[in-house]
């Protein structure tokens, strides 16, 4: 029995490269490639793969949001994040949104097939290149507290949240999509280790991130 795989990535060179890597594995069948979130969801209505290789930075609908949608609407489909983003909070974010695997785009065909097979068998998979980093960051966080280094965009979003603006309002002000703002909001929750907006603002003030 072949493992049915779908790929969602907005870079054609990545799609072509993965397609070639998978062609060497006779037990894996590629059933579709999608270059955007809307296209992916259209394909999913027609046929569902066993495994979906999903880029995090997708146009229109972010990979995090797509992971939530797919795991909710198509629970039999197992999502593996396939990305260049190697920060620990991105890994945790995707797993919280339902992903069962996290793989870097630098993976070779053997690691790619191993990840697909592992997740297909019902187990989680994290790229070996990330395991040491995740362990180091986890130990470091225990010693010094949660990583509170924010990107320039995350800081902007945080400050606008503190002013009482909604995700839609922030998206309009920064000329970004609402889904992108929601993604930044989730990253803020992860970095500050909080679960709601009140806790986020209180923690940010304690750390001096906002006035």
Bridge-partner residues for 101, per DSSP? Answer: 80, 125
Closest by alpha carbon to 54, among 27, 86, 78? 78
CB 91 within 8 A of CB 117: no
CA–CA separation, 89 vs 200, rounded Å? 16
CA–CA separation, 3 vs 117, rounded Å? 8
Q: pLDDT for 165-182, tens place per residue? A: 999 999 999 998 888 898
Residue 87 has pLDDT above 90, yes or no: no
Bridge-partner residues for 33, per DSSP? Answer: 7
Tell me the three state secondary structure of residue 162.
helix
User: What's the confidence (pLDDT) of residue 6?
Assistant: 96
DSSP 79: E
Q: pLDDT for 130-163, tens place per residue? A: 876 665 555 455 444 455 678 889 999 999 999 9
Residue 78 has pLDDT above 80, yes or no: yes
CA–CA separation, 3 vs 15, rounded Å? 18
Residue 25 has pLDDT above 60, yes or no: yes
Confidence of residue 28 (pLDDT cuts 50, 70, 90): very high
Q: pLDDT for 178-197, tens place per residue? A: 888 988 888 888 888 888 89
β-pairing, 51-54 vs 101-104, is unpaired
């Amino acid at each position: 029995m072949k493992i049915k795989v779908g790929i969602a990535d907005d870079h054609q060179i990545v799609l072509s490269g993965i397609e070639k890597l998978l062609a060497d594995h006779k037990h894996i069948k590629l059933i579709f490639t999608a270059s955007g979130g809307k296209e992916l969801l259209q394909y999913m209505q027609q046929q569902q793969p066993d495994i979906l290789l999903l880029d995090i930075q997708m146009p229109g609908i972010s990979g995090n949001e797509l992971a939530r949608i797919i795991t909710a609407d198509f629970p039999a489909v197992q999502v593996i994040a396939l990305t260049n983003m190697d920060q620990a909070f991105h890994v945790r974010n995707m797993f919280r949104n339902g992903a069962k695997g996290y793989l870097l785009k630098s993976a070779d065909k053997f690691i790619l097939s191993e990840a697909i097979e592992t997740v297909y068998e019902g187990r989680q998979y994290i790229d070996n290149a990330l395991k040491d980093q995740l362990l180091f960051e986890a130990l470091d966080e225990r010693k010094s507290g949660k990583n509170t280094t924010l990107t320039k965009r995350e800081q902007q979003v945080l400050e606008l949240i503190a002013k009482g603006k909604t995700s839609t309002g922030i998206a309009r002000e920064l000329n970004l999509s609402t889904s992108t703002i929601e993604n930044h909001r989730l990253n803020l929750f992860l970095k500050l280790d909080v679960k709601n907006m009140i806790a986020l603002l209180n923690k940010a003030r304690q750390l001096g991130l906002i006035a």
